[in-house]
Amino acid sequence: MITLFHAPQSRSSRIIWLLEELGATYEIRPVSIFRPMTGKGLPDPANPHPDGRVPAILDDDRLVTESVGIVLYLADAFAAAGLAPVPGDRRRGEYLGWIAWYATELEQAMFAGLSGALAQSPGKQRDHAAVLARLRNALVEGPYVMGAEFTAADVLIASALGFGRSAFPDDEVLDAYVARCRARPAAIRSLARDDQSGLQVAA
Ligand SMILES: N[C@@H](CCC(=O)N[C@@H](CS)C(=O)NCC(=O)O)C(=O)O
């Protein structure tokens, strides 16, 4: 049984989306977090995350933290759902590359764009342009970053873009990708569950 420690409209929302895509049975355990944008909220003593953050999951008694760690863990644990090429599959390397790219390139470029740090740093501008070009090139082919196949990498990338779209220029290709991902039935179901508390979802 998977238990997700969740705060509404945060990085744990994407894990609800993933769990819905995977057809998993899971429970949402709502926790409070500190919200830096408003300065409000306190870490919840009921949250097992060592930093009091979300997302965190318990798989029975096994704790997994970090969006990337959780996405890799769940997509492999529910391999039958087909959201992750399994070890040995020739697409596995590309898949891992996109997930690492999300964590090390996309997040940095997005927050540089959102914070205004771009304007002061030619290095960040170069990285930002590279992120945009790589994403666009993949999505012009599309419809997902790995082509025809929707993978768990799209959950990370599309959810980040959904939050930080304004960090990048107007672009029909990016907008269509975010809209396409948001229109997936699992994404729509996850929105309805984002704000509900104490919920148990049976597959
Ligand atoms: N690298 C972490 C970041 C987690 C994170 O910062 N989550 C925010 C919510 S979006 C949080 O829990 N903030 C509470 C805090 O900073 O104390 C991940 O991707 O899981």
pLDDT at 159: 98
Phi, psi of 114 (to 5 degrees): -70, -35
Q: Which of 70, 132, 77 is nearest to 106 (CA)?
A: 132
pLDDT at 197: 57
Residue ranges, CATH 3.40.30.10, the chain: 2-83+188-201
Ligand 1 center–CA 63 separation, angstroms: 16
pLDDT at 198: 57
**Low-confidence stretches of the chain (pLDDT beneath 50):** none
* Ordered strands of the 200-201 beta sheet: 62-65, 56-59, 2-6, 26-30, 200-201
Residue ranges, CATH 1.20.1050.10, the chain: 92-185
6 lines ligand 1 (CB under 6 A): no
56 lines ligand 1 (CB under 6 A): no
pTM for the whole structure: 0.96
Rounded Cα gap, residues 76 and 131, in angstroms: 26
Q: How many CA atoms lie within 13 A of 85 on its CB side?
A: 15
67 lines ligand 1 (CB under 6 A): yes
Ligand 1 center–CA 184 separation, angstroms: 25
Q: Does domain 92-185 have CATH number 3.40.50.300?
A: no
59 lines ligand 1 (CB under 6 A): no
Ligand 1 test: best mutation among 53, 107, 157, most atoms within 8 Å of CB? 53
Phi, psi of 67 (to 5 degrees): -50, -50
pLDDT at 199: 59
Rounded Cα gap, residues 52 and 33, in angstroms: 7
132 lines ligand 1 (CB under 6 A): no
What is the maximum alpha-carbon separation in the chain? 50
Q: Does domain 2-83+188-201 have CATH number 3.40.640.10?
A: no
Question: Hey, whose CA ends up nearest to atom 3 of ligand 1?
Answer: 66
Rounded Cα gap, residues 84 and 71, in angstroms: 10
53 lines ligand 1 (CB under 6 A): yes
Q: How far is Cα of residue 81 from the mean position of the Cα atoms in its chain?
A: 17
49 lines ligand 1 (CB under 6 A): no
Could you report the per-residue pLDDT of 97-127, keeping only the tens digit for each? 999 999 999 999 999 999 989 989 999 999 9
Beta carbons of 178 and 139 less than 8 angstroms apart: no
